[in-house]
A and B are shown apart, each in its own frame.
Chain A
Amino acid sequence: MSKRFDINRTKDKLFRYFGVACTIFGLVMLAIFLISVLIEGLPRIDWGFFTSLPSRKPENAGILIPLLGTTWIMVLTSLIAIPFGVASGIYLEEYGKKNRLATIIEINITNLAGVPSIIYGLLALEVFVRLFGLGKSLLAGSLTLALLILPIIIVATREAIRAVPKTIREASYALGATKWQTTWHQVLPASSGGIVTGVILAISRAIGETAPLIVIGAMLYTTTIPTSPMDDFAILPIQIFNWLSRPQHGFIINATAAIIVLLAITFILNGIAIYLRNRWQKKVKW
């Protein structure tokens, strides 16, 4: 009996160490990744790297155009996805709670969230690039990414709205406010922290996406600075992919340096999102 007991105690202890090891495995991998990227790429980053056009010589090449492209994409995608995503979330949570259409939309959104991103690229290639005649433009790319992140924004909006207690709405109705007035003046401000967090995370996801934009034909190499939504474009992740597929070591170093820039943008966005989430959770106590 006591021997069994000892065995069980030992198993328990061993698993504890194994659990710590597995958790640390994730952290160590993350650390190895980040350190190897920093060692390889950091020396390459200087002012010229941000302001140079692409070049056949790796030491002259820069990320000016893909960086501008990523910025354009970030702004346009937000402009398209935020209104549609938040409006859908409001409809599903506040208006269409019990009707059948809302149920269908809901199932549909869950399914869309599981569709691989490259499939969105195929959709966009046929619809935005060819049918709408938008070509391989910034607008076509932004529309693609907007569709891709719409489910994320909708789900975040719904969760934030759901956290607003009923009493707030009832108080507003009691004062004679209409449904929309209640939604606009009470529910939305009260849930804004959660919505903004979700939106930022979605945008951070969008700027890291590569595959759908390769499918619609975003440029691997372009020397023109994008000035309007109808221009051709390059983006940071595709530039990284392109440099990685070159044989010269200089381009691999460039790719590593560009990865540092992309990771910096991603981490800053995620950091802001986590900060807002924590502040919002602390501030709001219903």
Chain B
Amino acid sequence: MRLKEKIIEGILLLCAAVSILTTIGILWVLISESSVFFLKVPLTEFLFDTQWTPLFAEKHFGILPLVAGTVLTSFIAIVVALPVGLTIAVYLNEYAPKGFRKFIKPILEVLAAIPTVVYGYFALMVITPFLQQIFPQMAGFNALSPGIVMGIMIIPMISSLSEDALYAVPKSLREASYGIGATRFQTSFKVLVPAASSGIVVSVILAISRAVGETMIVAIAAGQQPRLTLNPFVPVETITTYIVQVSLGDVVQGSLEYQTIFAAGIALFILTFVLNNISFYVKKKFEEKYE
């Protein structure tokens, strides 16, 4: 009996260890393949060259245009998602009738369940033609439309995480504010939002991280042209889109082109890893404050 118990515990532990193997695998794959890349391409060129043309005859390996595309689309997404998501969170937490809240939350969650390739279609076929009527100079592939659609996609993420943070603010603070005659608006924005600020910051950082790693929306609607620009009307390419672009073509394994996707991958991994860990740090401080 005791032996059987021990064996079962061992098996369960092995299953749990799969996640550690996954992390080791990711690090090993990214580091081993990209170290070969960095033997051929100096790190300074990778970081500071302003052109990214590994698939052309005249090769440049500057990651900056891909980073610019990633930052631009993610920035647009946050500009859409933060005000709308935070307003929804405050509204549902402080204003909305209970029944409305119960009805609306699952519907907002549907937005998060839609596959990203479907969002790509919306960006390309619905939002871009609509925006082109307002901005005639806008190209068919651009950063604005996928950015907006990504923003719509991450609204539920910001609204639900921020709402949890607002809800966790001790009732006494809210009641004290109402007690001295504050309106709901004043209570929300002068008491609750500042008190829940770290939770809200966490939701925003996680949303940025999600936008940075998002692939299909930008692969479908942003065009696939690496370009060092902050102009939202012209085609750009993100880090993720470049990896997709190379994967779709016939690139020989072991070639420099093949290794570029791992170099791009490690840049993406570091970017999201830093963002995620900032959010853990903020979250941990937040928990300490209230316990």
Contact = CB atoms under 8 A, between A and B. Distances in A.
Interface of A: 8-9, 11-12, 15-16, 18-20, 22-23, 25-27, 29-30, 32-33, 36-37, 40, 83-84, 87-88, 90-92, 95-96, 101-102, 104-105, 108-112, 114-123, 126-127, 130, 147, 150-151, 154, 178-180, 201, 204-205, 207-211, 214-215, 217, 220, 237, 240-241, 244-245, 252, 255-256, 259, 262-263, 266-267, 270, 274
Given A241-B220, A266-B115, A122 B29 contact: yes
B252 interface: no
12 contacts: A15-B185, A22-B84, A26-B107, A83-B15, A110-B276, A118-B240, A126-B29, A147-B18, A180-B9, A211-B219, A211-B243, A255-B121
Interface stretch (B39-47, B51-59, B265-273): B265-273
Contacts of B120: 241, 244
Interface string B123-143: 011100000000000000000
Given A122-B29, A274-B106, A88 B272 contact: no
Contact of B276 (A32, A108, A114): A114
Contacts of B15: 83-84, 87-88, 91
Contacts of B243: 118, 121-122, 211, 215
A96 B18 CA distance: 15
A19 B163 CA distance: 13
B91 A16 contact: yes
A270 B84 contact: no
A33 B117 contact: no
B288 interface: no
Contacts of B209: 114
B117 A237 contact: yes
Contacts of A8: 183, 185-186
Contacts of A217: 247
B21 to A, nearest CB: 9
B90 interface: yes
A111 B275 CA distance: 11
B22 A150 contact: yes
B16 A270 contact: no
B132 to A, nearest CB: 16
Contacts of A240: 117-118, 121
A179 B5 contact: yes
Interface of B: 1, 4-5, 8-9, 11-13, 15-20, 22-23, 25-26, 29-30, 33, 83-84, 87-88, 90-92, 95-96, 104, 106-111, 113-118, 120-122, 124-126, 152, 155-156, 183-186, 188, 206, 209, 212-216, 219-220, 240, 243-244, 247-248, 253, 261-262, 265, 268-269, 272-273, 275-277, 280
Nearest to A20: B91
A29 B280 CA distance: 32
B271 to A, nearest CB: 9
Nearest to A240: B117
Contact of A259 (B16, B121, B206): B121
B265 A109 contact: no
Contacts of A109: 19
A108 B215 contact: no
Nearest to B115: A208
Rank and list the top 6 A-B pairs by shortest CB-CB distance, nearest first: A116-B213, A19-B91, A208-B115, A87-B15, A211-B215, A114-B276
A165 to B, nearest CB: 22
B17 to A, nearest CB: 7
A88 B215 contact: no
Contact of B126 (A32, A88, A122, A267): A32
Contact of B88 (A23, A87, A123, A180): A23
Contacts of B30: 119, 122
A237 B117 CA distance: 6
Contact of A22 (B11, B87, B183): B87
B113 A88 contact: no
A209 B114 CA distance: 10
Given A19-B91, A114-B209, A118-B268, A127 B25 contact: yes
A221 B122 CA distance: 23
Contact of A266 (B8, B114, B155, B185): B114
Contact of B272 (A32, A116, A151, A210): A116
Given A19-B90, A178-B5, A240-B117, A12 B265 contact: no
Contact of B12 (A95, A117, A126, A147): A95
A210 B90 contact: no
A96 B91 contact: no
B106 A122 contact: no
A126 B33 contact: yes
B215 A263 contact: no
Given A104-B20, A116-B215, A116-B269, 12 more contacts: A15-B87, A19-B92, A91-B9, A108-B19, A111-B276, A114-B272, A116-B214, A154-B19, A180-B9, A210-B115, A237-B115, A259-B118
